[in-house]
Amino acid sequence: QVTIEAQPTKVSEGKDVLLLVHNLPTNVVGYIWYKGQIMDLQHYITAYTTDTEMIIFGPAYSGRETVYSNASLLIQSVTKNDTGSYTIQIIKRGHRT
C-alpha cells in the first residue's frame, strides 16, 4: 500500500517539508499531486510523467512545489495556507490509477 510521510512531521512557517512517497507500485507512467482530498482541476498542483520526465503545473501550483521522479513532493517556505491534506494520484500503464 502506498503511504505518504511528511519529513519533518511538524513544520514551522517558512521551513520546507517533503511529502515522501513509500511503496510505489511498478509500471507507473505518472503522478498527479492535489491540494486536499478532491482530485479536480482546481486542486491540481503538479504532475510528473515518468517516460518523458515532463512536469506540468496546475492551477494550485504556487511556485514553491517541486515534484521528483520518485513521486515525492517538496513544498518550500511553507505558509499557513499550505496546512491540510494532500492527495497523490498514481497512474499505471493501461490508465489504471
* Residue 16, pLDDT score: 98
Percent share of the chain, pLDDT over 70: 97
| Residue 79 pLDDT > 80 | yes
Nearest Cα to 87, choosing from 50, 47, 52?
47
Say yes or no to pLDDT of 97 above 70: no
pLDDT > 70? residue 9: yes
Predicted TM-score of the model (pTM): 0.92
> What pLDDT is attached to residue 26?
87
- Number of residues assigned to the chain: 97
Say whether pLDDT at 95 is over 80. Answer: no
- Taking the C-alpha atoms of residue 86 and residue 74, their distance in angstroms, rounded to an integer, is 12
Which domains, ranges and CATH numbers included, belong to the chain?
A: 3-92 (2.60.40.10)
Neighbours of 75 (CB within 10 A): 22
Per-residue pLDDT reduced to its tens digit, 17-62? 999 999 998 889 999 999 999 999 999 999 999 999 999 999 999 9
Q: Within 10 Å of residue 82's Cβ, how many Cβ atoms?
A: 17
Model pLDDT, residue 96: 67
